[in-house]
Each structure stands twice: as structure tokens, then as C-alpha cells.
Amino acid sequence: MSIKYYAKISGTGMSVPEKVLTNFDLEKIVDTTDEWIRTRTGMSERHIASKNEAASDLAYNATLKAIEAANIRNKDIDMIIVATISGDHPFPSTACIIQQKLGLKGFPAFDVSAGCTGWIYASNIAKQYIENGVAENILVIGVEILTKITNWKDRGTCILFGDGAGATIISRAGERDISRFIDSELSADGTHYDLLIQQAGGSRIPASNESVGENLHTVYMEGNKIFKNAVRSMYHACDVVLKRNHLDVHSIDWLITHQANLRIIQALGKKLKIDDKKVIVNIEKYANTSSATIPMALDEAIRNGKIQHGDLVLLASFGAGLTSGSLLLRI
Ligand code: UT7
């Protein structure tokens, strides 16, 4: 496809629930310790949604901040893509609910299911729509409330997740703009679809008393197998875009990877041979918020002045599917 226009990130925002669950709180729920969680994952606390809080509530708060940062009006948005696996309802899409909350209609709004790689997938889609001239300002959100589909009896998974939303406005770049999306690589390996799965609630195992009793509506994960795949697949996605753009890793100003485990982030950094100081990490405060980790970390790093206008940023993620992907952009 020939590129008619370039896409850029023109604004970001994030939102997390007020309630904080610490590792010490988790010690009272399952057989675990603060020490185990910190040393094996890098997490200290996470934010968890209240009974009445749903994905679109967090996503809407994050969106208002992103719209303000982009300096646009609600009505300038011409597409909404929400990356989530824990939306308000199985259907309709959470994107349509956000559209309603913003008082908008008359343009496409849809959700993308790509697990923790969701925001990278959604941004790649937005990039295409901007580049071919179809859209000018696309709202792309990564949002999850995984703590509502967590098995609180399984210490192998319940300590890992937190809730949150990261919103981005992906806009058409001006002709002289240095900010732009440069490249992106997406992939999936469906042979491992069953390693990370919510087994019930779809057409394979519809909701029933039995499915609820057996906890089949909660996250099932084979953590060890995912761990190995994570480093390999994110490295591949990063390596492809670096090579395709004739870039050395030293030219990257910042690396933001999916925040699933500090050891995964460090292992990827080491394999890429990137300076530790260039790797953005916030897992200790929010834990794994799935599709929201990257837009949340991006928003924080822009707002606290770490990432500056003109910086070259490499983003990488992996997740259920198994999906993986990277995105290279100049902020
Ligand atoms: O978002 C995308 C998908 N998610 C991920 O990327 C997660 C990827 N996986 C991981 O991050 C890690 O595999 C985990 C953090 C889930 C687990 O860490 P691990 O170092 O792979 O631990 P393990 O599963 O090999 O378990 C080691 C030991 C086991 O005990 P034994 O068999 O050695 O006696 C577990 O029973 O740690 C035990 N264990 C725990 N102990 C205390 C597992 N969970 C806990 C816990 N507290 N919460």
C-alpha cells in the first residue's frame, strides 16, 4: 500500500481504579508472600475495580485526558478501536459504549481481541486507516478489568493482574511533523491458543451452573510456557522492525514492553542489548493490566517528561492467542 499520510500519536491518557491491592493484601487471600511476588514478578501493588466499575468507565476517563492532550474536540474523532478481552459485555463492543459516552455516532467503532497485544494490534489497524486517508483522528484504547475474571483461589494467576485503561489519539501527521509511526510487525501462533484462555462463556462452553462452579469463566494460564514464548516472540517482533528500518538498537531512545513480569522485560532488554536506563517499567505499581500496560506506560512516561517530542520509541507485546507484535514510532 502506498502511504498517503503518516500517522502519529497526538495525545495520551490513563485511568486506574482507586482501590489498591498490595502483595500483603494477597497474602491474606492465597498462600503467597510479598517476597515471592516481588522477586518472581517485580510487582508490589495493583489497582482493582470496584463492584460497579466496568471497562468503559476506566476507558472513558482515560479518553477525556487523551482528547485534552491531543487538543481536539470529541467530534474530531472519526473511529474508535478498543483493545480488550474484559469489556463491559460479551457484546456489543465496548467501543460502541465509549462512542455513546462521548456523545458521538456515525463512524466505525469496534473492539479487537488480541489479549495483551491488543493495543499494538489496534494501533496497527489505526495506522492503516490514517495512512490511506480514510480517518484523521482515531481513538485507540487498551482497557482491562481482569480482576473480575480472576480465579482468586489460584495463586499462580491471581497475584498477577491489575485493572486499568490507556487511551491514545492516533492522528494524521502534518507534512513537517517529525512525529510519526514508522513501522509495525504483528504475528500470532494459534497452535498455543490453549495456554492462556477464558474457557467458558462463549459458544464452546456456554455459561451454566457447572461452568461457574468449575471456575471456567476465569483466566487459565500455563505461566511457564508463556514466559519462554514471551521473550522469543517479542525479540523477533523488535528485531524485524529494527532490521527492516536499518536501525541499530542504540538509536532507540526508549523501549516499552508489555508489563507482565519484570524478569521477562529484563530478559528481552538483555537479548536486545539495550541500555537498562532506556527500558520503561511501571509493573511495580500496576501489575499486569493486559492490553492497557503499554498505553499506560507510554502516557506516564510522556507526562513525567521521560519521553520527549522527537524521541524514537520501540513498543513490544505478547499475549493470549498467542499473539505478539511491535511498533516503532517517533513521538
Ligand atoms: O500477560 C501475558 C501472559 N502472562 C504472562 O506473561 C505470565 C508469564 N509467566 C510468568 O510470569 C511466570 O511464569 C509466573 C509469575 C506466572 C510464575 O513464575 P515462575 O517463576 O514461572 O514460577 P513457577 O510457576 O515455575 O512456580 C515456581 C514455584 C512452584 O512451587 P514448586 O512446585 O517449585 O514447589 C509454584 O507452586 O512457585 C510456586 N508458586 C508460588 N509461590 C508463592 C506459584 N505461584 C506462587 C505464588 N506464591 N503466588
| pLDDT (0 to 100) of residue 2 | 77
At CA 82, angle to CA 146 and CA 162, rounded to 5? 20
| pLDDT (0 to 100) of residue 174 | 92
Whether residue 233 has pLDDT greater than 70: yes
DSSP 177: -
Nearest to 124 by CA among 241, 15, 13, 12: 241
Give yes or no for residue 220 CB within 6 A of ligand 1: no
| Active-site residue (options: 23, 47, 96, 258) | 258
CA of 41 to the centre of ligand 1 (A): 9
CA-nearest residue, atom 12 of ligand 1: 223
Q: What are the E-state strand segments in 135-253?
A: 137-145, 163-172, 180-188, 196-198, 219-221
Share of the chain above pLDDT 90, in %: 98
Mean residue pLDDT of the chain comes to 97
CA of 261 to the centre of ligand 1 (A): 10
Whether residue 172 has pLDDT greater than 80: yes
CA-nearest residue, atom 18 of ligand 1: 40
- φ, ψ at 65 (rounded to 5°): -70, -40
The Cα–Cα gap between 150 and 72 comes to 37
DSSP bridge partners of 183: 328
Q: How many helices (H) and strands (E) does the chain have?
A: 11, 14
- φ, ψ at 42 (rounded to 5°): 85, 5
Locate cell 478501536: which residue?
81
| pLDDT (0 to 100) of residue 1 | 62
Q: At what angle do helices 55-70 and 293-303 cross, to 10 degrees?
A: 40
Please tell me the pTM assigned to this model: 0.96
| pLDDT (0 to 100) of residue 3 | 82
Share of the chain above pLDDT 70, in %: 100
The Cα–Cα gap between 23 and 44 comes to 6
Query: Does residue 116 have an active-site annotation?
Result: yes
Whether residue 244 has pLDDT greater than 70: yes
Ligand 1, pocket-test mutation among 21, 30, 149, 227, most atoms within 8 A of CB:
227
Q: Is 223 exposed, middle or buried (0-12, 13-18, 19+ CB in 10 A)?
A: middle
DSSP 173: P
Q: Are the beta carbons of 313 and 302 closer than 8 angstroms?
A: no
Whether residue 166 has pLDDT greater than 90: yes
pLDDT tens digits, one per residue of 80-120: 999 999 999 999 999 999 999 999 999 999 999 999 999 99
pLDDT tens digits, one per residue of 43-83: 999 999 999 999 999 999 999 999 999 999 999 999 999 99
| Active-site residue (options: 96, 116, 158, 238) | 116
Nearest to 260 by CA among 236, 282, 238: 282
User: Could you give the 3-state DSSP secondary structure of residue 57?
Assistant: helix
> What number does the ligand 1 atom closest to the CA of 196 have?
3
Give yes or no for residue 227 CB within 6 A of ligand 1: yes
At CA 158, angle to CA 152 and CA 162, rounded to 5? 115
DSSP bridge partners of 318: 324
